[in-house]
Amino acid sequence: MPELPEVHTIVQGINKSLLGYKILEVRDIKKKYNLLSQEDIDSKVINATIVSAERLAKQIVLNLDNQHSLSFHLAMTGKLLLREPGHPQDKAERLVLNLIYQNGARELRFCDTRLFGKVKILHSQEIEKSKNNFGLDPTTKEFNSKNFYNVIKSKNTSIKNLLMDQRKIAGLGNIYATDALWLANINPTTHTSQITKEQASKLLDSVISVLNEGIAHRGISMRDYVDLYGEKGSHQNHFKVYQQSHCSRCQCEIQTVRINGRATYFCPLCQPHKDKTLNKKISVN
Ligand SMILES: [Zn+2]
């Protein structure tokens, strides 16, 4: 599932390649799934121009010049692809936007094999309002030691769960959360009440560090993810502890624990739990 760095990379591509393009036509390829209403397409999208793109947690928001935005949630297998007209059909196309700018035509294709992805047309006021649903964004200046510590203490759960709760921290998923905890030498099952200010500060730096690395590598392409141009990212070659067999710091064998159903990797030596009985394979929430 695309996390912050993957969505950031796609948004960066849209801002680089699609500003000023006018939307001439929207084709709903799989009409029976009713992604958008034809009335909304006609009144809010057709003939509008793309003025900017932004990332909202893990959503891609395409702002138009008419106070409306198209928001894409890629979910498990969604892709947004920029294609020349006449480019062979992509697998699992759902929505195709025909675009034009200074006599140059392009297609923006939303493809989604498993159909969990979502597209919405929202008014700018709805976009502003929806920002309240998301927690601290790790790419903003509000993501500082004080705010992060307060967010950690605001929920009784494991630190791994906290990092993945979009209402607390926006944009982090399983892989980057797992690697950030390894980098900060914190056991993923540690209860938020046990996290010290020093640990929170180190974890903050680790979260920023793994996300910046992910962005520099243009995301993780293990299954479906590709960028706007159909190119794969390379961060899957740079995981720290996720899906690793041995720790690169101490050569210890990596262990896994299921937290909220997600496989979480950790090094028992570098990330010990205060309660030694928990340094074994366990299931926690
Ligand atoms: Zn280790």
Q: Over the stretch 18-31, which tens digit does the pLDDT of each residue have? A: 999 999 999 988 77
- Lowest-pLDDT choice from 35-39, 153-157, 234-238, 239-243: 35-39
* 177 CA → ligand 1 middle, Å: 17
* 269 CA → ligand 1 middle, Å: 5
* 18 CA → ligand 1 middle, Å: 44
Give the residue-averaged pLDDT of 36-59: 94
- Per-residue pLDDT tens for 159-180? 999 999 999 999 899 999 999 9
For residue 16, pLDDT over 70 is answered with yes
Q: d(Cα 31, Cα 43) in Å, to the nearest integer?
A: 18
- Per-residue pLDDT tens for 200-239? 999 999 999 999 999 999 999 998 899 999 999 999 999 9
* 159 CA → ligand 1 middle, Å: 19
What domains appear along the chain, each with residue ranges and CATH number? 4-133 (3.20.190.10), 145-284 (1.10.8.50)
Catalytic positions, please? 2-3, 58, 262
275 pLDDT band, cuts 50/70/90, is low
- Per-residue pLDDT tens for 99-113? 999 879 999 999 998
For residue 285, pLDDT over 60 is answered with no
The average confidence (pLDDT) of the chain is 93
pLDDT for res 278: 54
The pTM (predicted TM-score) of the whole model is 0.92
Q: d(Cα 250, Cα 65) in Å, to the nearest integer?
A: 54
Exposed, middle or buried, 17 (CB in 10 Å: 0-12/13-18/19+)?
middle
pLDDT for res 283: 45
| Percentage of residues of the chain with pLDDT beyond 70 | 95
266 pLDDT band, cuts 50/70/90, is very high
For residue 70, pLDDT over 50 is answered with yes
pLDDT for res 28: 86
* 139 CA → ligand 1 middle, Å: 28
Give the residue-averaged pLDDT of 61-83: 95
For residue 282, pLDDT over 50 is answered with no
* 277 CA → ligand 1 middle, Å: 18
For residue 53, pLDDT over 50 is answered with yes
Sign of the C-alpha dihedral computed for residues 29, 33, 38 and 43 taken in this order: negative
Note whether 50 and 59 are within 8 A (CB). no
* 180 CA → ligand 1 middle, Å: 13
Helix axes 145-152, 197-216, angle to 10 degrees: 110
* 153 CA → ligand 1 middle, Å: 27
3-class secondary structure for the chain?
Answer: CCCHHHHHHHHHHHHHHCCCCEEEEEEECCHHHCCCCHHHHHHHHCCCEEEEEEEECCEEEEEECCCEEEEEECCCCEEEEEECCCCCCCCCEEEEEEEEECCEEEEEEEEECCCCCEEEEEEHHHHHHHHHHCCECCCCCCCCHHHHHHHHCCCCCEHHHHHHCCCCECCCCHHHHHHHHHHCCCCCCCEHHHCCHHHHHHHHHHHHHHHHHHHHCCCCCCCCCCCCCCCCCCHHHCCCCCCCCECCCCCCECEEEEECCEEEEECCCCCCCCCHHHCCCCEEC
